[in-house]
Amino acid sequence: MRPTVPLILVAALAAGTLTACGVGSVSHPDTVKVAYQRNTNSKVRYTDDYLAMVKKEFEKTHRGKKVKLIPIQASENDYYAKIQQMMRSAKTSPDLVYEDTFLINADIKSGYLRPLDDKISTWADWKQFAPAAKAATRAEDGKTYGVQDGTDTRALWYNKEIFAKAGLPARWQPKTWQDVLDTARTIKREVPGVTPFNVYTGKGPGEASVMQTFEMLLYGTGKDPLYDPAAKKWVTGSKGFRDSLDFVRSVYAEKLGPEISDALDPNVGVRNVSEWLPAGEVAISLDGSWLGEYWLPTGGKPWPRWSKVMAQAPFPTQHGQAPGKVSLSGGWAWSIPAKSTNADLAWQFIETLQSKRNAVEWDIRGAQIAVRDDVAADATYLKSMPGIEFFTSLVKYSHFRPALPVYPRVSAAIGEQMENVTTGDSSVAEAARAYDKQVASITDGAVVSKP
């Protein structure tokens, strides 16, 4: 799964580990050091190959300058802890780091990153970036701390063959939450043995539950339903929150979703994409733009017929109110550490990374959704994978999670209450009240009631 799970950051790491990553050497004014995560799956190397290509281009066009790539092969939690340790000192800090936009504010608050406003103000390509992508790396102080290189969006994936058996249209466009639930009910009635609707829920799947299900619902209920940026407070007591919980409750109380024990399994996302959907065991899944990546010949679960069997539909707002569609997005960005000794050279490398040609190349290699308007319109990009144009069209309807240091704890509280209504341990009203108390405690009372 692509979504980030809440991190438990390691306070300190062994110095030998950092030296092994190649960051213990003294900085050279003509060398830019670039730290990035290498997937723990040793077979996945598209990031390495892409950065090697850009390094070669940069060194050719910037004579006398060198790029030192620092791949850190680690899980996401360990990777983030390592780069934070590195950024604490000018002796170990890279000049450029690859950051998850979801957690970028934690590093800003710790003083690890420098603002890039002086750079982007004179960068012609900045106007190509979608407003949502710009907002994703903009901090509470109004300054920008990264350049996002791609994103993802979320929607409803559905099996056209199962729909045909249920007497449902091949081109499905639900207008409201009620439409979605009614379709799932029809499938349950007409196609026994098939799971009508997979939605992630509970603590086990982490952000897959919170971002991919709950926030897809919540952001379709009204403006700023989770965090009020004007008041700088978290929202409590809202009908939209209760309605979102009730949607999740309905799916599992009516047995429209997977068995609860399966739904709460931390590995449910892997099972869904590699087992259930290819086997025709799930009719609809509220899921991400990256699923097709798994089913390509080079993916983890090759499925030659997937583009003929599976189709996509936007997730609707609650009652079909404007804009009618909703999506959530994530993504990573390139940031310059505050203690970089070669910030100007690091920025020049960002410009090379994000030339239009290289941005197209990266989005294709990494199965990313374009955040630049010129890339989103590029013919090569639009032909790179079935469904890419559809998922790209959702960027303008997409929301990003509040990029605040406290968010992981708020997310955990949402996941806990989702689980409580899924299992029936709490009613919707009880779970909503419990969340309100939790978030008030987590944020030291920085809450605002919006009934």
Residue scoring higher pLDDT (322 or 142): 322
**Please, which residues have CB within 8 angstroms of residue 437's CB and are 6 or more apart in sequence?**
none
Q: Are residues 291 and 347 in the same domain?
A: no
Phi and psi angles of residue 236, each rounded to the nearest 5 degrees, phi first: -130, 165
pLDDT band for position 259 (cuts 50, 70, 90): very high
**Total number of residues shown for the chain:** 451
Q: Are residues 414 and 273 in the same domain?
A: yes
pLDDT band for position 103 (cuts 50, 70, 90): confident
The CB-based long-range contact list for 38-42 (8 Å cut-off, 24+ gap) reads 38/71, 38/72, 38/73, 38/74, 39/73, 40/73, 40/74, 40/75, 42/73
Lowest-pLDDT choice from 80-84, 281-285, 308-312: 80-84
Residue scoring higher pLDDT (236 or 99): 236
Instruction: Say whether pLDDT at 1 is over 70.
Output: no
In a domain, 201, yes or no: yes
The CB-based long-range contact list for 371-375 (8 Å cut-off, 24+ gap) reads 371/129, 371/130, 371/132, 371/133, 371/148, 371/149, 371/150, 371/151, 371/331, 371/395, 372/125, 372/128, 372/129, 372/130, 372/133, 373/128, 373/129, 373/130, 374/128, 375/128
Percent of the chain with pLDDT over 70: 93
In a domain, 383, yes or no: yes
Instruction: Say whether pLDDT at 14 is over 70.
Output: no
Average pLDDT over residues 105-121: 92
CA distance 146 to 5: 21
pLDDT tens-digit map of 347-383? 999 999 999 999 999 999 888 999 999 999 999 999 9
pLDDT band for position 325 (cuts 50, 70, 90): very high
In a domain, 345, yes or no: yes
Mean pLDDT score of the chain, rounded to an integer?
A: 91
Q: Are residues 389 and 411 in the same domain?
A: no
CA distance 187 to 165: 8
Q: Are residues 271 and 321 in the same domain?
A: yes
**Beta strands 96-100 and 31-38: pairing type?**
parallel
Angle of helix 46-61 relative to helix 343-353, nearest 10 degrees, comes to: 110
Taking alpha carbons only, the member of 275, 144, 154, 283 closest to residue 209 is: 154
What is the structure's pLDDT at 7? 35
pLDDT tens-digit map of 401-444? 887 888 889 999 999 999 999 999 999 999 999 999 999 999 99
- DSSP at 123: -
CA distance 283 to 276: 9
Q: Are residues 111 and 67 in the same domain?
A: yes
Q: How many structural domains does the chain have? A: 2
Domain residues for the domain of 424 are 154-328+406-449
Average pLDDT over residues 305-327: 98
Q: Are residues 100 and 231 in the same domain?
A: no
- DSSP at 317: P
Instruction: Say whether pLDDT at 22 is over 70.
Output: no
Q: Are residues 148 and 193 in the same domain?
A: no
pLDDT tens-digit map of 282-297? 999 999 999 998 898 8
Average pLDDT over residues 233-247: 98
Instruction: Say whether pLDDT at 24 is over 60.
Output: no
Q: 205-233 burial string, b = 16+ CB within 10 Å, else e?
A: bbbbbbbbbbbbbbbbbeeebbbbeeeeb
In a domain, 246, yes or no: yes
pLDDT band for position 34 (cuts 50, 70, 90): very high
Q: Are residues 174 and 51 in the same domain?
A: no
CATH of the domain at 385: 3.40.190.10
